[in-house]
Amino acid sequence: MSKETEKLLQMANNDLRDLDLYIQELSAFLPLAICAVNPFGLLITINSAFQDLTGYKEAEAIGKRMEKMFANGKEFRDLISSESVLKKKKQKRKMILLVKSGREIPVSMSISARRDENGEFIGYFIALLDIEDFEKLRESLEKKVKERTGDLERKTEELRESRVALMNVLEDVENARMLAEEEKNKTMAIITNFSDGLLFFDFENKLSLINSQAKSFFNIKSSKLIGKRLSEFSKKSALDPLVDIIKNSKNSRIKEVYREELNLKKNVFFEVSTIFLKRDKKKIGSLIIIHNVSREKVVERLKTEFVSLSAHQLRTPLSAIKWTLRMLLDGDLGKVNPDQKEYIEKTYKSNERMIALVNDLLNVTRIEEGRYLYRKTTTEIQPLIEFVISSLRDKIKKQKIKLKFIKPKKKVSKIKVDVEKVRMAIYNIINNAISYTPHGGKVDVSLMGEKDGVRVEVSDNGIGIPKDQQKRVFSKFFRAGNAVREETTGTGLGLYITKNIIEAHNGKVWFDSKEGKGTTFYFTIPFTTNH
């Protein structure tokens, strides 16, 4: 070997050593675990990253079978025994690395065949990339996605369920709505076709409903009045006649139903009832019911006419008979023998009963008269009482009753009443006191002005009303047992009429009584029976 050659060789050796060092440094520096394996799968070289990853020192690793380094070693053996690695340049495979500590680490393995300068197969290069963190990340991501997907699926299911539930609810609501609608239509049909006129004012006094009958009663064509306040109805408005009645009803003390009669035109009469509607004690408005009573009025008038006619037609001959018989009995028309006299007396009594019957007929109409008040005038009550007392003075004298009228010390304010009816009421009470008080008895009539009205008391020391019969005193055709014995001609209608009249004036009538001791009747009439 020449010196030249030796020098060159030396130089080449140096270069090689340098290269080897370089490679060693590089492989030590690389964070990727790299190893070389001979054709039989035995480890021949590893770098430091390989030692770090596997935990094996170089001395422990070299000569180790590579497939033993994997938990799935069979896959590695299959891979290298197949020829695919030889044919392809580089292959990548996911493997489970079995490190010294026994832990398994997922790795991505790159493998490629090594060849010498002659192209002869001499083994493999293997690089192992620790993908444990990636795997963990991936797994956790996957888990999260799965969880989220589960959540979403659950939520979706829940939503679907609630949607179904909601649809059911909606269906129920719709059914209920349809039922309500049907009910409303039914109610509206009833209201529209009702034979009475109906108007409804809401709590603000606005007209919110008027049915067709009410429209036809008042000859209203349009619906312009709907939504208008009571106070907005002009004097020209067709509903004007109602305005006063509704106002009266509001001022009245009656809490439930207020009734007033309305004479719209000749022979047309309406009974107007005002009902204050409340729901849970809250006022929701007032309902006005207009009932056509024209026919009833005609019947009533005919009845009154009939009774008046019968009273006159029957009473004329009855009084002629009465007077004739009386004069016969008194001997004014010549002497009658005792036998004849007895017959005439019996006939006279029969005639008296007939007269009482005719009077009953009159009283029956007076009952109905007590129900409605026609002509209310503002008047003092004292002259009414005096009138009644003076109209009874013959009877008082006949029965030798000591009647005292105790007048109020201070003048009593006027009241607005139907004079004729109130007089009838007072008459019935005083007349009863006189009728059912024995001869020589005492009747005191007192008039008092009170804070909100007048009060009249009529007390007697007469026969009184038996306790067990006191409840029925104001009922129609009632007469107490002792009263029937005392006076045979009473009709049992007087106090019924009186109660009707007093209550029609928003007043009250009551009594205290003790059988055998006497009775006191009281009644009151408020000052403002109507505005």
Partner 1 sequence: MAKKILLIEDEQIIVDLLQRKLTEEGYNVALAKDGEEGIKAMKAEKPDLILLDIVMPKMGGLEVMEEMQKNPDLKRIPVIIVSNSGQPVELDRAKKLGAKDWLIKTEFDPQEVIEKVVNQIGK
- Minimum distance, C-beta of residue 315 to partner 1, in the bound complex (Å): 4
Residues 239, 240, 242, 246, CA torsion sign? positive
Give the C-alpha separation, 425 to 415, whole Å. Answer: 15
Question: Is 323 among the residues that bind partner 1 (CB under 8 A)?
Answer: yes
* Candidate ranges 73-81, 247-255, 326-334, 405-413; the one touching partner 1 (CB under 8 A): 326-334
* Candidate ranges 109-117, 282-290, 294-302, 312-320; the one touching partner 1 (CB under 8 A): 312-320
Is the CB of 29 or the CB of 323 nearer to partner 1?
A: 323
* Candidate ranges 89-97, 180-188, 257-265, 421-429; the one touching partner 1 (CB under 8 A): 421-429
Contact residue for partner 1 among 318, 336, 367, 396 (CB under 8 A): 318
- Three-state SS string over 107-154 comes to EEEEEEEEECCCCCEEEEEEEEEECHHHHHHHHHHHHHHHHHHHHHHH
Is the CB of 353 or the CB of 467 nearer to partner 1?
A: 353
Give the C-alpha separation, 224 to 203, whole Å. Answer: 19
Is the CB of 130 or the CB of 369 nearer to partner 1?
A: 369
Burial class (CB in 10 A: 0-12, 13-18, 19+), 48: middle
Contact residue for partner 1 among 360, 420, 457, 515 (CB under 8 A): 420
What is the b/e burial string over 190-224, where b = at least 16 CB atoms within 10 angstroms of the residue's CB?
A: ebeeeebbbbbbbeeebbebbbebbbebbebeeee
* Candidate ranges 169-177, 235-243, 319-327, 435-443; the one touching partner 1 (CB under 8 A): 319-327
Contact residue for partner 1 among 77, 206, 228, 326 (CB under 8 A): 326
Q: What are phi and psi of 119, to 5 degrees?
A: 85, 15
Question: Is 4 among the residues that bind partner 1 (CB under 8 A)?
Answer: no
Contact residue for partner 1 among 259, 423, 455, 505 (CB under 8 A): 423
Residue span 244-273 as binding mask against partner 1, x where in contact by CB under 8 A, dash where not: ------------------------------
Place of tokens 């003092």: 380
- Beta-bridged to residue 269, according to DSSP, are 263
Give the C-alpha separation, 344 to 324, whole Å. Answer: 10
What is the 8-class DSSP label of residue 66?
A: G
Cβ count within 10 A of residue 274: 23
- Three-state SS string over 455-497 comes to EEEEEECCCCCCHHHHHHCCCCCCCCHHHHHHCCCCCCCHHHH
- Minimum distance, C-beta of residue 214 to partner 1, in the bound complex (Å): 35
Is the CB of 153 or the CB of 332 nearer to partner 1?
A: 332
Closest alpha carbon to 429 in 313, 359, 526, 509: 509
Contact residue for partner 1 among 57, 88, 229, 312 (CB under 8 A): 312
Is the CB of 98 or the CB of 318 nearer to partner 1?
A: 318
How many residues touch partner 1 under the rule CB under 8 A: the total is 27
Place of tokens 């990253």: 49
Residues 449, 451, 453, 459, CA torsion sign? negative
Is the CB of 256 or the CB of 394 nearer to partner 1?
A: 394
Residue span 333-372 as binding mask against partner 1, x where in contact by CB under 8 A, dash where not: x---------------------x--xx--x----------
Question: Is 391 among the residues that bind partner 1 (CB under 8 A)?
Answer: yes
Cα dihedral 330/334/336/341 (nearest 10)? -30
- Where do contacts with partner 1 occur on this chain (CB under 8 A)? 308, 311-312, 315-316, 318-320, 322-324, 326-327, 330, 332-333, 355, 358-359, 362, 387, 391, 394, 420, 423-424, 427
